[in-house]
Amino acid sequence: MAVVNVTYSLPKDVTEKKVVVHSGTEFQISTYSKNGHGADVSRSSKDPSLRPAYYYTGPPWSLLWSDTKLFLKNILYLPCIVYPFWSQPPARSFHLGVDNRFREQPRFLVSQLHRQFQAWAQTYFHSGPMDELYPSWNNISDITFHMILMVTQSAFLLSLPFLTVLSFNVFVAYVALFVTINYVACFMLNGWMPDGFLMSKEFPATAQWREDHADEEWIFLNGVAVGKNWLQSNIDRISLTFHREVKGVHNRTAGIIFDVIQCLLERCLYFGTADTRICFSHISDALLNPEKKKIILILHSQGGLEGSIILDWLINQHPREVLQKLEIFTFGNAANHFNNPRVKKEHAVPRIKDRAIRHIEHYANSRDFVSRWGVLHFKKQTAKKDGRFLLLGEITALISRKTQIIKATTKTAAKQANKLDSEWNAFEGVLIERSGSGHQFNQHYLDNIFPLDDSLSRVQTNGDGSPLPGTFMASMTNVRNDPWKIDEQRKLTNGTDGTAHHNNVNGHSEEKEVYKVSRLWKYVNGNSPMDKKQ
């Protein structure tokens, strides 16, 4: 297996050097020294230095232009949303059997032929009918309906410029009529869900799981183009992976094209939909429930984008003691930011209790278009300086340096200092990047990261609970910007000349397997992580 890149953001005292300047003004910029004190900023009263706003708070038109450029840059990866359509047989000696819990009742085929077909299909679809592209009646129906919606929605959008010659009332009536028909048609995908959520199926062991983990609540928020059928498959797969009962809050689909437009509204206008608000209320209720000690939030695709907005609301509304119960895990995250403010100073010893949320992990496939348009781009931007990853020694030198001189001699330079900069952003949590393609939650993420055994009831592991050799979780890692290594260098730095008294300041972090880095792995098969006292 290829080495897996694990990426953390750079400390803010390495990147926090940008200000708004007036043309021709020379001044100093504060940066934190190792003792935590910043140097004074030299400026005139007419030329204030300002801490620039984070990227995601920029003007909507600037964000839209930036998103458009990022879309075009990665447009060749669009087919990778669904590719590969199936997987190669897994690296294991047995053949997947047919699980009666998921076997559909045959409709037009002889029962025996149907069972043989399922046995063949499960060789290439490792979660059987739970995989999104598995050739079941429900999946084929959903895919066909989405293709019809893509054609009709594309035709609708292309027709709009030609209808501008009509009167305003006719134009508005046309748009309203199509949107209404589209909404009614999507009811076939979304189904009847009056409470806005589903619960995972009652498996034979569900009652025991519920009893064993009564102090936990697991919530899932789905991504683009997911109707009731795929949402049920997603939460069932999560339930079988971690042996917990799962609540799936439904981010309803309006068709792929309209869902993408909704994503742009959410990213560029910071717009919270009704589904976003429903999920927020479920998480808030769980956080305030004294019987719940852990709230696990799993987000996929657009769910990650909505989750970033929900997280901002949670941070604004709930005290730190309540937020410490929350853990967040995302897959193929489409967000452009992910906040997790410190409750202590940036240069302190990195401890999980010093953040509002103790644990945030982002899993992404390297050739997944949505990940490249979201978490892979924005997380890596916060991990780089001047467009590249820094060596440990370079980070140490920047931390130890106290001040820096910047001179803006032209209006262009002044404008450049205030441009929309995705390096100056908030995207907290560790990024674990798998080399591969695909965006479907079950088929392309969980099947590759948490493969089930032949009974489709638990994750494959060795006798000691470690992952099988050759699987993703058994791969070695390359850790970028390891916060614990950076803190070691921070302590060793003399703070004068930007050097560190350490022979291996440019060395790599100690190699570990992915499962030793992954917090989420510690929950598989009903296990729970052993948390150290902070």
pLDDT at position 252: 97
Question: Where is 228: in which H helix or E strand?
Answer: helix 228-242
pLDDT at 404 over 80: no
Structure tokens at 155: 């035709």
pLDDT at position 495: 47
**What number is the average pLDDT over the span 254-267?**
96
pLDDT at 506 over 70: no
37 CB-near residues (< 8 Å, 6+ apart) = none
Structure tokens at 256: 């792929």
Question: Where is 206: in which H helix or E strand?
Answer: helix 206-212
Structure tokens at 302: 């657009």
**What number is the average pLDDT over the span 308-335?**
97
**What proportion of the chain, given as a percentage, has pLDDT over 90?**
63
Structure tokens at 171: 């134009």
Q: How confident is the model at residue 48 (pLDDT cuts 50, 70, 90)?
A: very low
Task: Pick the more confident residue, 14 or 320.
Answer: 320
pLDDT at position 96: 47
pLDDT at 415 over 80: no
Distance, CA of 433 to CA of 364 (rounded, Å): 5
Q: Within 10 Å of residue 107's Cβ, how many Cβ atoms?
A: 7
Distance, CA of 498 to CA of 505 (rounded, Å): 12
Q: How confident is the model at residue 435 (pLDDT cuts 50, 70, 90)?
A: very high
Task: Pick the more confident residue, 87 or 177.
Answer: 177
Cβ pair 383, 480 in contact under 8 A: yes
pLDDT tens sequence across 83-126: 999 887 654 433 444 455 555 555 554 567 777 777 777 788 99
pLDDT at 179 over 60: yes
One-letter identity of residue 201: K
In terms of average pLDDT, the best of 180-194, 334-348, 499-513 is: 180-194
pLDDT tens sequence across 326-385: 999 999 999 999 999 987 655 555 565 678 999 999 999 999 999 999 999 999 999 998
CA dihedral (140, 144, 150, 156) positive or negative:
negative
pLDDT at position 454: 84
pLDDT at 267 over 70: yes
pLDDT at 5 over 50: yes
Q: How confident is the model at residue 134 (pLDDT cuts 50, 70, 90)?
A: very high
pLDDT at position 44: 41
Backbone phi, psi, residue 448, to 5°: -90, -30
pLDDT tens sequence across 216-235: 999 999 999 999 999 999 99
pLDDT at 35 over 60: no
Q: How confident is the model at residue 151 (pLDDT cuts 50, 70, 90)?
A: very high
pLDDT at position 104: 54
Angle at 473 between CA 458 and CA 203, to 5 degrees: 15
Helix then strand then coil, in percent of the chain rounded to 5, is 45, 15, 45
pLDDT at 33 over 70: no
pLDDT at 42 over 50: no
Q: How confident is the model at residue 38 (pLDDT cuts 50, 70, 90)?
A: very low
pLDDT tens sequence across 463-474: 999 999 999 999
pLDDT at position 419: 56
Angle at 348 between CA 342 and CA 352, to 5 degrees: 50
pLDDT at position 30: 43
Task: Pick the more confident residue, 396 or 288.
Answer: 288
**What number is the average pLDDT over the span 294-319?**
97
Determine if the pTM surpasses 0.85: yes
pLDDT at position 32: 42
Mean model confidence pLDDT for the chain = 84
**What number is the average pLDDT over the span 480-484?**
90
Distance, CA of 16 to CA of 11 (rounded, Å): 9
Cα separation values, 390 from 127, 383, 394, 406, Å: 40, 8, 6, 21
Distance, CA of 355 to CA of 315 (rounded, Å): 11
Burial of 204: CB neighbours in 10 Å, binned 0-12, 13-18, 19+: exposed
Strand-by-strand arrangement of the 216-221 sheet: 197-199, 246-249, 216-221, 294-300, 326-331, 359-365, 430-434, 4-7, 477-480
pLDDT at position 36: 46
